Chains A and B, each alone.
Chain A
């Protein structure tokens, strides 16, 4: 494939970020355009036309388009899905309502169980039954399926999921029922639970399949508009869509499993961090993507982001392979308030884009994290976005004084620094979740901040956690969009095979592996026919009697006695490593088989547009008093990132401003600017000292 220009489009809640890379010249263009919620494709297509115009590139030169989309996520969160039917095993229509019998919150009685996408009048039962080993107990009542389809059509269902018990062990009944749906309703949006998630635990599988079905028409309509629009711009390349697993795939794959895109946007950031880390030789990274209302953190070890298999979306479990991204509801727009007992709290309520922080002068009067940063001189007190947006520090001051200083009886600086301290400790909690709570020591990792607010807080968060390095990308606000250009094509497939890990199970295992191999091959044919692909095989294993599995890899899609024994041996070793003990005498059970198929894509070049032949003082634009933890107000030089030379070293205190963010460098820290313009900040260790 001849690469000319690559285009990444990351749709967020407020803005859509676009990045265009001319592969031959190593030149990048960046563009931001407002997101258009009514028809997201419109803003995106306008933005694509604009960035091509800015770069003066012809659409025919674009060889790759990758899109990170929040469409499916928003459809679930805002319940903008379609009326969805379900055909299920007799006696079990309520499975998706019974859920796991826990109330939504132990203490908050006002929270209700979320209403599933298929309401009860659209959940119809048919006689059929499959045993856990896949044998048929009761044959499928095909007439009942026909009646159900007719009833669902009559009741206005626009999509159907077919969800039968133990379908992961034998999908025959589900496949036959889907065939009947299609006979009667040729253009139906329908999916079978065993096609979406061939794993046991009926609530999670039915929920996953039902949510998926409810999105099929929604994503189809969106992709129709998007694909037509891309073609209309004159781009011949087929666009790809980022998935939650960090791989990009064709629209056809997304049309089948829209649930795979739920973490499309945050995955772009993580893959961007992997790509940037690989280019500069940093492989152990904790990402810290702090935006206006929320913050995403993820852990990357040896260049590989941590993944997991279950996420909640809108109150429903959705089991898909997903990067392990932890989100908390705190960001630059989070509001500071005093609780009824008199404690200062920050978030989760946010001032959002409108009215925004008090200092933006758009009518907001509640103090936010951004207001505190302005009062303390950490953010520019005249204007943001390189002068394009005026700020009003008096309004920030008034908001903090009125809402915090008066009730807490403290001065402005203490209240403002308290806001920063509390939001930082919340951030620290998020980082601990994906590191310490997973058995990883954060001090072994570099913290990579991005998003609009990450670099403002990263050095302090790193200091609190004893992390010695902060790595600030050259374009922190656009790392997520850049990540789209780093994505490989990746498909993940799984199948439950609950059997003992002994030679008597080999036939059952190999039948399952053949099924996975066929699904992987079909996917590959659709995504990248003929391209070299990497097949990775894994089993989820546990000791008999346990309910918790560990992954153990194996080299090929066929197991013999020796390969099985090796896989079991690796499981014992993994158990000892993870939990401190192994039980080699206890029988081992295989639960799931997994296949990942990856087709590598070429890596985009680093930005070549870093200023050369200039001195650091050429980038000095200001000096102002800035408040730092442990030091109070200090005069600090302010540098313009765009004019900052590569290969230079300087020391904190300092502030680095650029269009998309501001980086705070505390006293005692040392910054090395690398050849690509990234900032590597060495943080003095403070493990034994007080932070404030």
Chain B
């Protein structure tokens, strides 16, 4: 209940300070970091925690980081007693199984904040590092069979002591990366971000004194009450849903099963019945599971609720050990953001049953392509990591959005002109994939076509995808979205459809790789599509005859599984 000594005004004022602090930490991180992934794509997040390690305020740049934030401080406090942590200490971790991480490239840096001789808060930040070792450049590929192939695993360990970098740990991290000097710059930026946060939180305690902690507590309480009220507005009951990841082999699938219980202003999600963990790196570790649950719940129930522990407390999550959404070591997890797209659909479709007026059909997750090879321009070696968006599911009142990242994922594309300048590749076409959104009264969002021509010798590509076998379901009579597909040399005698998980496919000079991402499901029967929408589809050439699709990516007719 609300702490008695502070009122809703002080709680609001202190919360605004905390959000400012998180934003300042993010600004420092982005300003001082080195690598494009952090600087241009802002693949990083920052947060302030209370003394118990609960998230209080965060500057979110990528929703999936939320889960790693929640785990960050607890991973440290599980390993180090309060008497072992001193001012000026910082901790590093990335391991999904022991360090609160969600995949190895996301490195957490965590620091305590002291006031009057005791820990009153923590600050932490996450940055996606371009490479942390492992069998593939970029440390992220569906073909990895074990987390040991994915890169350096870091449990929570001290990387700074009394304000001095602990070289013993720092140097191990640098040595394990293909791009050590970038890691050096980015890690230092992460330290600087935490220093900014520590100073600002100390200032907040200096200003509000003994009222600060009760104000934080009150803010969490207000948030909890707000989300409890949001859950209270939807229909109580038990809702089940399932959907499928692409399996280990072509044609196989892996079930994600969910029983959602809504009762008494709380929601409980039980993933019992989900398939056993996969041998490919598409498993969804615990922190990615909770990030996806919290993101989808917030999106559908109360988009403006502050992302803090108050609303997390209203949601409980259970998944059996060793299943695809709760894998155990050494299951590989690198590509969890693609499979988390399908997980997001399962959660959203279950919630859609409870709140049909705000329902959302299944979505097309992004596809991942990592190009690598010798760079003829400077005798170097290039690695180009790209995510290509799919499309969002339709809703009762609107078409799905074309060509966007969905649910807990969110990074930007790479501009064609930047790509062609940097790598020996030419984009032949970059377009909305017409007809890939499921038909319906409201059409599913369309995926994307992006076609790469190789311009040099020795280029290879590694590919990772979902929804190449199992389509994004439609709702209420809407059709599913089209499957994604990777096609080599389309329209030539050499045309070949590639698998959903491939490593080191050769792209000889002048060959073309066509990436066609999956669309979202439609909502409502297609014959009820309003005339104005049909006219616009025709005028804008949005729904070409199905003949344009090869049999592999024709929309299927079955709806939600």
Decide if A200 touches B300 in the complex (CB within 8 Å): no
Known pairs A120-B541, A340-B229, A581-B188; A203 contacts B431 (CB<8 A): no
> Which residues on the B side are within 8 Å of A304 (C-beta)?
none
Decide if A120 touches B542 in the complex (CB within 8 Å): yes
> Which residues on the B side are within 8 Å of A532 (C-beta)?
none
Known pairs A92-B430, A97-B432, A343-B8; A425 contacts B303 (CB<8 A): no
Decide if A425 touches B13 in the complex (CB within 8 Å): yes
Interface residues of B in 408-432 (CB under 8 A from A): 410-413, 415-418, 420-421, 426-432
The 8 A CB mask of A72-112 against B (1 = contact, 0 = none) is 00000000000000000001111101111111111111101
Closest B residue by C-beta to A99: B403
Known pairs A132-B417, A428-B20, A432-B20; A103 contacts B430 (CB<8 A): no
Interface centre among A137, A343, A432 (most CB of B within 10 A): A343
Known pairs A339-B226, A408-B7, A546-B34; A165 contacts B417 (CB<8 A): yes
> Which residues on the B side are within 8 Å of A436 (C-beta)?
24, 27
The 8 A CB mask of A654-692 against B (1 = contact, 0 = none) is 000000000000000000000000000000000111111
CA distance A99 to B430 in the complex (A): 11
Decide if A103 touches B405 in the complex (CB within 8 Å): yes
Closest B residue by C-beta to A410: B7
Decide if A107 touches B299 in the complex (CB within 8 Å): yes
What's the minimum C-beta distance from B516 to chain A, rounded to whole angstroms?
14
Decide if B299 touches A109 in the complex (CB within 8 Å): yes
Known pairs A98-B432, A422-B16, A691-B207; A103 contacts B417 (CB<8 A): no
Q: Which of B227, B418, B542 contacts A201 (CB 8 A)?
A: B418
Known pairs A92-B429, A546-B39, A583-B181; A340 contacts B226 (CB<8 A): yes
The 8 A CB mask of A130-173 against B (1 = contact, 0 = none) is 01100001000000000000000000000000000110100000
What's the minimum C-beta distance from A429 to chain B, rounded to whole angstroms?
5
Decide if B402 touches A425 in the complex (CB within 8 Å): no
What's the minimum C-beta distance from A315 to chain B, rounded to whole angstroms?
13
Decide if B32 touches A344 in the complex (CB within 8 Å): no
Decide if A101 touches B541 in the complex (CB within 8 Å): no
CA distance A410 to B451 in the complex (A): 63
Known pairs A101-B413, A103-B405, A422-B16; A344 contacts B8 (CB<8 A): yes
Decide if A342 touches B36 in the complex (CB within 8 Å): no
For residue B263, CB closer than 8 A to chain A, the reply is: no
Closest B residue by C-beta to A419: B9
CA distance A418 to B389 in the complex (A): 44
For residue A600, CB closer than 8 A to chain B, the reply is: no
> Which residues on the A side are within 8 Å of B182 (C-beta)?
545
Q: Which of B9, B63, B395, B412 contacts A422 (CB 8 A)?
A: B9
Interface residues of B in 74-90 (CB under 8 A from A): none
Closest A residue by C-beta to B223: A341
Decide if A102 touches B405 in the complex (CB within 8 Å): yes
> Which residues on the A side are within 8 Å of B173 (C-beta)?
none
CA distance A119 to B538 in the complex (A): 13
> Which residues on the B side are within 8 Å of A622 (C-beta)?
none
Q: Which of B35, B395, B540 contacts A109 (CB 8 A)?
A: B395
Closest B residue by C-beta to A586: B181
For residue A421, CB closer than 8 A to chain B, the reply is: yes
For residue B48, CB closer than 8 A to chain A, the reply is: no
Decide if A414 touches B417 in the complex (CB within 8 Å): no
> Which residues on the A side are within 8 Å of B2 (C-beta)?
342
Decide if B432 touches A107 in the complex (CB within 8 Å): no
Known pairs A109-B395, A340-B230, A439-B31; A547 contacts B418 (CB<8 A): yes
> Which residues on the B side are within 8 Å of A338 (C-beta)?
8
Interface residues of A in 484-543 (CB under 8 A from B): 498, 543
Decide if A109 touches B303 in the complex (CB within 8 Å): yes
For residue B145, CB closer than 8 A to chain A, the reply is: no
Closest B residue by C-beta to A496: B417
Interface residues of B in 431-470 (CB under 8 A from A): 431-432, 448, 451
Decide if B412 touches A101 in the complex (CB within 8 Å): yes
CA distance A344 to B539 in the complex (A): 48
Decide if B208 touches A690 in the complex (CB within 8 Å): yes
Decide if A105 touches B303 in the complex (CB within 8 Å): yes
Q: Which of B15, B60, B310, B405 contacts A101 (CB 8 A)?
A: B405
Interface centre among A102, A422, A583, A688 (most CB of B within 10 A): A102
For residue B398, CB closer than 8 A to chain A, the reply is: yes
Interface residues of B in 172-204 (CB under 8 A from A): 181-182, 185, 188-189, 192, 203
For residue B243, CB closer than 8 A to chain A, the reply is: no
> Which residues on the B side are within 8 Å of A92 (C-beta)?
416, 429-431
Decide if A546 touches B406 in the complex (CB within 8 Å): no
Q: Which of A106, A339, A586 contacts B63 (CB 8 A)?
A: A106
Decide if B225 touches A341 in the complex (CB within 8 Å): yes
Decide if B23 touches A437 in the complex (CB within 8 Å): yes
CA distance A579 to B32 in the complex (A): 5
For residue B224, CB closer than 8 A to chain A, the reply is: yes
What's the minimum C-beta distance from A111 to chain B, rounded to whole angstroms?
9
> Which residues on the A side are within 8 Å of B300 (C-beta)?
109
Decide if A202 touches B207 in the complex (CB within 8 Å): no
The 8 A CB mask of A418-455 against B (1 = contact, 0 = none) is 10011001101100110011110000000000000000
> Which residues on the B side are within 8 Å of A428 (C-beta)?
16, 20
Decide if A498 touches B404 in the complex (CB within 8 Å): no
For residue A58, CB closer than 8 A to chain B, the reply is: no
Decide if A408 touches B39 in the complex (CB within 8 Å): no
Decide if B420 touches A166 in the complex (CB within 8 Å): yes
Known pairs A108-B303, A425-B16; A688 contacts B206 (CB<8 A): yes
> Which residues on the A side are within 8 Å of B16 (C-beta)?
422, 425-426, 428-429
What's the minimum C-beta distance from B60 to chain A, rounded to whole angstroms?
7
Closest B residue by C-beta to A437: B27
> Which residues on the B side are within 8 Å of A426 (C-beta)?
16
CA distance A204 to B19 in the complex (A): 30
Q: Which of B60, B230, B431 contacts A91 (CB 8 A)?
A: B431
For residue B401, CB closer than 8 A to chain A, the reply is: yes
Interface centre among A100, A110, A113, A429 (most CB of B within 10 A): A100
> Which residues on the A side are within 8 Å of B353 (C-beta)?
none
> Which residues on the B side are within 8 Å of A119 (C-beta)?
540
For residue B315, CB closer than 8 A to chain A, the reply is: no
Decide if A103 touches B412 in the complex (CB within 8 Å): no
> Which residues on the B side are within 8 Å of A203 (C-beta)?
415
Decide if A690 touches B405 in the complex (CB within 8 Å): no
CA distance A638 to B219 in the complex (A): 39
Closest 6 CB pairs of A and B: A341-B226, A418-B9, A547-B36, A437-B27, A91-B429, A101-B389
A contact residues vs B (CB 8 Å cutoff) = 91-95, 97-110, 112-113, 119-121, 131-132, 137, 165-166, 168, 200-204, 338-345, 408, 410, 414, 417-418, 421-422, 425-426, 428-429, 432-433, 436-439, 498, 543, 545-548, 578-581, 583, 586, 687-692
A-B contacts besides A202-B416, A341-B229, 11 pairs, CB < 8 Å: A92-B431, A101-B366, A109-B299, A109-B303, A120-B540, A132-B421, A203-B415, A341-B225, A344-B8, A421-B13, A583-B181
